[in-house]
Structure 1
Amino acid sequence: MQESSTKLRVEVDAHQNVTDLLVQRAADAPEHAAFDVPASSSGLWTQVTTAQFLADVRALAKGLIASGIGAGEAVAIMAPSRYEWAVADLAIWFAGGVVVPIYDTSSQVQVSAIVADADVRLAVAGSPGQAETLRSAFDETGAGTLGIWAMDAAATGSETGTLAKLTARGNHISDADLEHRRQSAGLDDTATIVYTSGTTGEPKGAVLTHRNFLGQVLNIAAAYREVVHSGGNTIIFLPLAHVLARGLQLICLASGMRIAHISDPKAVITNLSVLRPTFLVAVPRVLQKIRAAASAKAAGAGLTRVWDAASATAVEWGSYSEQHENADAAGASVSLRLRRTFYNALFFTRLRAVMGGRVDYILSGGAALEAELSLFFRGIGVPVIEGYGLTETTAPLAGNLPGNIRSGTVGLPLPGSTIRISDEGEILARGIGVFAGYRNPRHNDDAFVDGFFRTGDLGALDADGRLILRGRVKDVIVTSGGKTIVPMPWETSVEKSPLVSHAVMVGEGRSFLSALIILDPDETRDWALAAGFAIDEPQGADLARVVDARLRAHIQEVVNSANVRVARSEQVRKFTLISTDLGDSSLITPTLKIKRQVILERGADAVEDLYR
């Protein structure tokens, strides 16, 4: 049994609860810009100071108290990531409440289950559709007796008020009353109930305390001072319903790093040159798309061979930099330095400019990042810090550090955390960010062993104690011959292709392995058009089989390449191409992970055909 630990850097006992982070920052730097907020539809942005943000939070908190929210009572937020989400989040805590985030893409069934399970008293909505979904959930469950309050007037109806009206209700609440309520929650009281996205089963309500959040925020901020600092800024485009986005927001607030929210992923690229972030958080698929777009642009200019050489040079430079951390670049070979200088001028400078021109680091999480892709970004001058965590660990559990990055690993345990690998290869976790349990006691039956949380992920520790991800326990396949297969290495290799959104290996109880390969609709369409033909767009939630011979031949090369990288017993013999709606929240989680069981259920006929 392997184990690796990192000592706590910052104690949290001097704090009352999470709200102290904002109060202290406002006292230290009230006029420092805390947020970039869209000023209008023209694309202009305006800055909000820490003092103004604190004033907005306090005013809304008074309105919540006046509306009837009591200490320890639950308030739901269902909206895209935006400034008002941040205000509502902190305001609920200032009012002594418990935040229940709901993904803005959640289905009616999911929302009804959450508001009932968390006993939600009041909800904050974004769009009219979200307000209506919440209202239906309240009608169905009898929850939400204090109503729904909308961020925008457009989302209001006869039974929905605006946040402005809710805020106005609190005019008679004194500062002393608010301060009393703000301090009502202690470190071990519930701060939030976050429902897991449910890739393998029903969503579970993870109960996270103020101690969990404070421990993570203070210690991660201390470990990543080169990344998160008062001279930097970032864009949060992950849903704030995700614990990583909320944890990052708190770290930025406490450290003075300016935040902009963009909920539409398509709007991120156009705003990078305007906001010019110094730090970004992205899932591996986004990084794959950035590289693929650069490759396609080079191909359009007739520079494919030149780009391939540049890409190989970036990986080589990234590898050299990693092996000689903090060493003088003059130690590299003359050939490598000359090639890197040439391709930097030709490609890499422009690629960095697409990201705003000031990005020092990218944090990658949510799925395993292939080592070669990490080395590529490091080689172009934007190191990727890969990390790993779960809702139940209050986001990051392990992470690479600036000046200590090892591609192919997710780094060392973060301060205050211990990672253990069980005899079966499962990653077990204990530490400052690890929750005490789920809201529903029956979900805790198999969640812990010897005081460690069972993550459900497979992994190993290298000689230095860094964590290497291997896959999911529930994804393991046992063939009819008794061979145990972990699908992740093969699937990750296939997903390197821009045309492949997700690869799902199958073969449980079968004599050989096969796969459902889910195509990226945009990339596939563009590839086909470039080749002189068209492919039908996916319709609805069905899994449509794609049988085009030219496309299949192209993906066959991808499969062959992946097969070469794994043992013979782990190679896929047959596959089916699938086209589907990747915006379907019943199929894809908000962090772009595939719900494997749903895919296998909907694709049962396709799987059976692979074995006929």
Structure 2
Amino acid sequence: MQEHTTEPLVDIDGRRNVTDLLVDRAVAAPAHIAFEVPDADPAAPWRPVTTAAFLADVQDLAKGLIATGIAPGDAIAIMAPTRYAWAVADLAAWFAGGVVVPVYETSSPAQVAAIVRDARVRLAIGGADQIEVLRDAFAETGTGALGAWSMDAPDGVARLAARGAAVGDDELERRRIHADLDAPATIVYTSGTTGEPKGAILTHRNFVGQVLNIAAAYREVVHPGGNTIIFLPLAHVLARGLQLICLASGMRIAHLSDTSRVVETLGTIRPTFLVAVPRVLEKIQAAAAQKAADARLGAVWSAAASTAVAWGTAAEDHARVPLPLRARRALFDRLFFARLRAVMGGRVDYVLSGGAALDPELSLFFRGIGVPVIEGYGLTETTAPLTGNLPHDIRSGTVGRPLPGSTVRISAEGEILARGVGVFAGYRDPAHTADAFVDGFFRTGDLGHIDPAGRVVLEGRLKDVIVTSNGKTVVPSVWERAVETSPLVAHAVMIGEGRSYLSALLVLDPVAAGAWADAVGAALERDASGALTEVTDARLREHLQGIVDAANARVSRSEQVRRFALVLADLDDTELVTQTLKIKRRTVLARASAAIENLYR
């Protein structure tokens, strides 16, 4: 049985709860800029907010929550786009002694109702486009006795904070320190790729332990001289964990909810560190390749990309770089790489990639252009990162060693098991908790192994394993990830359970596929009813056949896909795609049943 442990770097027992992170930082550096907030002034579109000012905003809202009737341990839902007000509400709920229930802004009314019912939410804070959904959910479920308060309306959160004028500082401090490290801090409902969402209870110990240990391990990345943009949903535990790490370490934070404005915001904020899912990195590389092709420099770009991968490989191996490679890299840096870094703001030292496995060659490419990618791995139930490469020790194709305070074990079946400071207390439903642990370790549901250096290598999801009719066991993730490197493919789903051969559904990226169709004069129309629409355009099939052939070349013959179908889908449908942009395999297979049957005729 494989197992690897990394000892903690920080003793957290002297901390009371998560709120200490903000209080301690405000004492140490009250005038330091903690946030940059969008402002209407065109001359200064981002307004600085100091740590002391943020603390004051948090305290005012916390007093309002107390005055309105929030008691210690009460559940408070937050449903809004990623923004400064989200951060204030999050910390204010903890200062008031509450338990935060984050809700994704795109959740359906049925999903919201299920969450507020299960968590017994007493009060909610929402954005302008979410507040009515919250109120309807409260009316349907009989919860929310203290109301749903808008972040934007004049009679919303501002009035809620004003209610707290009569609450004294002593009362606020009693509430702030009411929860200890082992008290619930938040209930996060998992996105549910293979089943119904479950409410994971994360404690103050989980957050404090993760924040302080990760900050200590990544001092080169998270420091008072750095800054970042958070555009992941703050309902996701990774974004909230990142926010707390930056806040405790003095790293400036800017929030961005409109992802279409990422490029312009990067140029203005000029971050030193970013967190992105692999799909974002794939799109950056694909956009650069397309721009080069449009300028009739496709062959030159291919040579540049190969050079970047070679440079990244040498850097990982700490090898001496040959003079010809140095010369090529210098040339391509002037032609392409410097411009790519400029698009990312020009100051990015590192990118953290999580949420899905990153193609090793893509990681090497970004290292080669001068933006190393630190790949990590974690789940909601591990309070985000469980393992991670370190800035001075990156190995592409792995997700690094267990982070400080964590242990990873590989079961006899190849499942990744986890124990440590970030591992959650359990689910709301005790039956779910009982099924989630074995010998004191959390069962992640992911397959993997530990390499000789102690690094974890992901191999796919345990529930996604396919057993064909001839008894061959296939883990589809390697093939699927290879196909998903194409900008045209948003999701690849291998099929073959109980079948004589493997096939696949390629769910097209609507933007990239639409651009392709416009370029060649084709018409791609999606079924408005929500059904998956099969695309039979011969030119598109021929183009993607090459991608499928390349993916087949990376796996054994028994793992190769013989036939595939192209489908269009509504990728904003939360019944089909999780809030973390993972495809719900069961749903896509059910909706594409007709196309699947055609693959086996």
Per the normalisation by structure 2, the TM-score is 0.99
- What residue number does 1:465 align with? 454
Look up the match of 2:547: 558
Tell me whether 1:295 sits opposite 2:289 in the alignment: yes
Match of 1:597 in 2: 586
Closer, same or farther: CA 265–570 of 1 in aligned 2, 3 Å? same
Residue 48 of structure 2 corresponds to which residue in structure 1?
A: 47
- Structure 1 residue matching 2:122: 3-state secondary structure: strand
Relative to structure 2, which stretch is displaced further, 353-362 or 132-141?
132-141
Determine the structure 2 residue equivalent to 1:576: 565
- Matched with 1:68 is 69
Alignment of 1:17-32 (within 5 A): 17-32=17-32
Alignment of 1:207-606 (within 5 A): 207-324=201-318, 331-537=320-526, 539-606=528-595
What amino acid is the match of 1:239? P
Q: Which digits, 9 at most, give the CA deviation of each residue in 1:274-322, with x for residues without a partner? A: 0000000000000000000000111111100000000000000000000
Structure 2 Cα separation of the partners of residues 539 and 488 of structure 1: 30
Which residue does 1:114 correspond to in 2? Answer: 115
Report the alpha carbon displacement of residue 537 of structure 1 after superposing the two structures with TM.
4.9
- 1:25-71: CA deviations, max 9, x gaps? 00000010000100028481111000000000000000000000000
Runs of 5+ unmatched residues, structure 1: none
| AA in 1 matched with 2:233 | P
- Aligned-partner residue type, residue 306 of structure 2: A
CA distance in structure 1 between the partners assigned to 2:267 and 2:411 by the alignment: 46
**Structure 1 Cα separation of the partners of residues 240 and 321 of structure 2:** 40
Aligned counterparts of 2:12 and 2:527: Cα–Cα separation in 1? 50
Shift in Å, 1:532: 3.9
Moved over 6 A (4+): none
**C-alpha separation in 2, matches of 1:382 and 1:336:** 18
Letter in 1 for 2:223: H
CA–CA distance in structure 2, aligned partners of residues 319 and 486 of structure 1: 27
Quote the Cα distance in structure 1 between the aligned partners of 2:276 and 2:166: 43
Return the offset for 1:397: 0.1
Whole-angstrom distance in 2 between the partners of 1:317 and 1:406: 14
Q: Give the Cα separation in 1 of the matches to 2:510 and 2:468.
A: 31
Task: String of CA shifts for 1:135-171, please: whole Å, max 9, x gaps.
Answer: 1111111100000100011xx8xxxx41000000000
Report sequence identity in percent: 68
User: Match of 1:541, SS?
Assistant: coil
Structure 2 Cα separation of the partners of residues 444 and 56 of structure 1: 37
Among 157, 161, 164, the alignment partner of 1:167 is: 161
Cα deviation 1:389-408 (Å, max 9, x = unaligned): 00000000000000100000
Q: What amino acid sits opposite 2:144 in the alignment?
A: G
Structure 1 stretch 588-597 or stretch 376-385: which is displaced more?
A: 588-597
Q: Secondary structure in 2 aligned to 1:460?
A: strand
Q: Distance in 1 between matches of 2:119 and 2:584?
A: 24
Whether contact under 8 Å (1:234, 1:260) holds in the other structure is yes
The answer to which of 548-557 and 34-43 deviates more is 34-43
SS at match of 1:188: coil
Change (3 A) 1:403 1:538: farther
Asked whether the equivalents of residues 78 and 103 of structure 2 are also in contact (C-alpha less than 8 Å), the reply is yes
The superposition leaves residues 223-244 of structure 1 with CA deviations (integer Å, 9 ceiling, x where unpaired) of: 0000011000000000000000
Which blocks of at least 5 consecutive residues in structure 2 are unaligned?
none
Q: How far does residue 540 in structure 1 lie from its aligned partner after superposition?
A: 4.6
Amino acid at match of 1:48: V
CA displacement 1:157-210 (0-9 Å, x = unmatched): xxxx41000000000000011001100000000000000011110100000000
Read off the aligned partner of 1:285 and give its amino acid letter.
Answer: R
CA distance in 1, matches of 2:446, 2:527: 32
Q: Distance in 2 between matches of 1:11 and 1:111?
A: 38
Inter-partner Cα distance in structure 1 for 2:439 and 2:462 = 19
1:105 aligned partner: 106
Question: How far does the alpha carbon of each residue in 1:113-139 deviate from its partner, in whole angstroms, 9 at most, with x for none?
Answer: 1101111000001024x1111111111
What residue is the counterpart of 2:194 in the other structure? 200
Q: Which residue of 1 aligns with 2:150?
A: 150
How far residue 605 of structure 1 moved from its aligned partner, in angstroms, is 1.4
Distance in 1 (alpha carbons) for counterparts of 2:338 and 2:597: 49
Q: Deviations over 1:89-127 (max 9, x none)?
A: 000000000000000011111111110111100000102
Cα distance per residue 1:311-355 (max 9 Å; x no partner): 00000000000000xx7xxx3111100000000011000000000
Q: Hey, what's the Cα distance between the residues in 1 that align with 2:331 and 2:357?
A: 31
Offset at 1:528?
2.6
Partners of 1:565 and 1:546 lie apart in 2 by 26
* Partner of residue 183, structure 2: 189
Q: 2:22 and 2:560 mapped to 1: Cα distance?
A: 52
Change (3 A) 1:540 1:364: farther
| Residue type of the alignment partner of 1:151 | M
Q: Over aligned residue pairs, what C-alpha RMSD do you find?
A: 1.0
- The answer (yes or no) to whether the contact 2:483–2:489 under 8 Å persists in 1 is yes
Q: State the TM-score, normalized to the length of structure 1.
A: 0.97
Q: In the alignment, residue 145 of structure 1 is paired with which amino acid?
A: A
Aligned to 2:79: 78
For the pair 1:36 / 2:36, whether they are aligned, the reply is yes
C-alpha distance in structure 2 between counterparts of 1:4 and 1:546, whole Å: 47
8 Å CA contact 2:467–2:498 kept in 1: the answer is yes
Whole-angstrom distance in 2 between the partners of 1:146 and 1:25: 31
The alpha carbon displacement at 1:539 in A equals 3.1
AA matched with 2:117:
A
- Given that 1:539 and 1:580 are in contact with CA atoms closer than 8 Å, whether structure 2 keeps it comes out as no
1:361, distance to aligned residue in structure 2 (A): 0.3
User: Counterpart of 2:595 in structure 1: which amino acid?
Assistant: A
SS in 2 for 1:446: helix
Query: Is the CA contact 2:526–2:533 (under 8 Å) kept in the aligned structure 1?
Result: no
Kept after mapping to 2: 8 A contact 1:195/1:204: yes
Work out the CA distance in 1 between the residues paired with 2:101 and 2:174. Answer: 22
Residue pair 1:283, 1:591 contacting (<8 A) in 2 also = no
User: 1:14 — aligned with what?
Assistant: 14
State the distance in 2 between where 1:435 and 1:50 align: 29
Which secondary structure does the structure 2 equivalent of 1:270 belong to?
helix
Q: Tell me, what secondary structure is at the counterpart of 1:445?
A: helix
1:538 to partner: Cα distance:
5.6
SS in 2 for 1:244: helix
